[in-house]
Structure 1
């Protein structure tokens, strides 16, 4: 009986302890946190864009003639080296046969003259003519072989058939596009920026884009190039490459919104929200949030300037990318354990909390 009472008492103490822990957890002060950044890094540039294939190629025959057969349709996936179309080869087969016969005759004559020259029975001029004639017919024979081989059209890259311009039976000229292929590599994004933003290109930091199809995701981008010449609308073309777009079904032709995070320089002041600073005994302080411990540290800073956009400039006491408490500073004290609010959630519309 005594053992039973001890077990009941232990269980009650455990429940009391759990309740105490739950109460302690629920009593944590919630605060909003943010990152101290340089002035330029406080804002983004945003531009509408469109996804593009990394490679977009028009494929054409190098010879002229009627198309005998088309092996692909729009939307087909092709591998590099796969046959796309076949031109009627009969004219080029005839040409090769005639050139081969001519080559055999000139080669035989050249070998005979070379033998006579070695024996001293012909002139050096005749020998040179025979040698040059053989070189010319050899080049002509190789060209005929190449032309016959060029009656077959192969895919130059892995990708998809975007459009098919001609059908079997049509006669096409050399260089006329037969199909267009876009590569199956990493998808790229194209935007056009204004001249004023082009002058800030050295301060471009990171890039990402969003899609209406994936409202909760940000897709990181890497810069491919920025054109140095403005177009007719005085805009500068920027090309960016998606790092993981191919895995999520993003294809060329989709509209997107591209964001450019600006990077600050060492000469620019640290900018934080004015709600992050508070006064104590005529001195300005902020709270540094320690992510590992979940506690805050009170730190003195030097306030340089109060701006009209809800931010203030700090000249001393803060480093770039340090995490600070941006709301709730009057409800906490140095060393207190707090809980950071998520930046934005579906229930925190507009990030007002």
Structure 2
């Protein structure tokens, strides 16, 4: 019996020791796991962010903008005086030369006015000649002492001068009537093409009508006009070349050179208007066509450029993340031009800055552990 109890006591002690050893091993195992997890956490914090230096360069870049081809000169041809259309010599689509006769008006009362003014001019001229002869005779007679009173000589001179003034006025009136008659002949102001004809023979034309006789445009020279966005305005240079295409002639490319700019930004759309003179002697191009223009531009001074994927766009703004001496900083920037994989940025940057290539909002500012 005693022997049995002794055996049972030994068995209990063994079990107790086994349990204690199990707890010790479990505790050590837990500490090892916790230590391993702590090391992993430290390893997570010790990260490296790929970064590249900011580029301070001045590259040439190309943009494509829509434009419009317009006639170099375009006018509405009106009749300066009132009259009936007597003859029409051109029609829509006719090409004309400067000074070519387009139409003739008739106004009989204008011819009568001219004849009346001409007759009056002749009468006044005769009066002037008579007054001049009278004055000349008195001057000759006055050479004899006491033959002519001074007051008589002055009166004759005054009469002659008055007659001369009346003659000059009458002659100007006659010239006016003659000039009005010339306005009955409608001529082309420049070389071009008649784009529209609005009246027919017998129609009343003149100052009382708001309808022009013809619409005329210059076709051998065109204006290529485009609006350049504000961010590119400082890159424009005089004599800048351009190439353009039009939808009506696919596959063809045309060349032009910058002729003039508006000089100021348009207040409505914040753009700069550019004009290119396009020679068109063969009439291959048509005024009114829409064109797509390619321009090669370059800033006047170098600017900062970064990888396009380095720009972080968030709800609070646009940023890049700099990494200098293991310190991350968020720099607010505004975007400029995009060129392949590069983007122009403007902000508080320096040439020594390194930019994180793949930024994210989870990256916090401050020093990072290596």
Q: TM-score, normalised by structure 2?
A: 0.58
Per the alignment, residue 198 of structure 2 pairs with: 165
Aligned 8 A contact 2:235 2:298 in 1 = no
Aligned 8 A contact 1:204 1:260 in 2 = no
2:180 is aligned, of 139, 144, 147, to: 147
Shift of 1:310: 4.1
Task: Tell whether 2:170 aligns with 1:137.
Answer: yes
Shift of 1:255: 1.5
Q: 1:308 to 1:59 in 2, by over 3 A?
A: closer
2:220 is aligned, of 177, 182, 185, to: 185
In structure 2, distance between residues paired with 1:156 and 1:85: 13
Aligned 8 A contact 1:205 1:263 in 2 = no
In structure 2, distance between residues paired with 1:66 and 1:100: 24
Secondary structure of residue in 2 paired with 1:249? coil
In structure 2, distance between residues paired with 1:152 and 1:251: 29
Larger Rg: 2
In structure 1, distance between residues paired with 2:301 and 2:106: 68
1:87 is aligned, of 105, 121, 130, to: 105
Q: 1:112 to 1:219 in 2, by over 3 A?
A: same
Residue segments in structure 1 that go unaligned for 5+ positions in a row? 1-37, 271-306, 313-353
Shift of 1:216: 3.1
> How big is each residue's C-alpha offset from its partner over 1:132-182, in whole Å with a ceiling of 9 and x where there is no partner?
000000111111111111110111111100112333222223395321211
2:235 is aligned, of 180, 196, 200, to: 200
Residue segments in structure 2 that go unaligned for 5+ positions in a row? 1-56, 139-151, 306-337, 344-370
Per the alignment, residue 70 of structure 1 pairs with: 88
> How big is each residue's C-alpha offset from its partner over 1:242-279, in whole Å with a ceiling of 9 and x where there is no partner?
24x55472111111101111135585799xxxxxxxxx
Shift of 1:233: 3.6
Shift of 1:311: 6.5
In structure 1, distance between residues paired with 2:89 and 2:282: 28
Matched residue count: 239
Per the alignment, residue 239 of structure 1 pairs with: 275
> How big is each residue's C-alpha offset from its partner over 1:295-347, in whole Å with a ceiling of 9 and x where there is no partner?
xxxxxxxxxxxx995469xxxxxxxxxxxxxxxxxxxxxxxxxxxxxxxxxxx
Aligned 8 A contact 1:219 1:242 in 2 = no
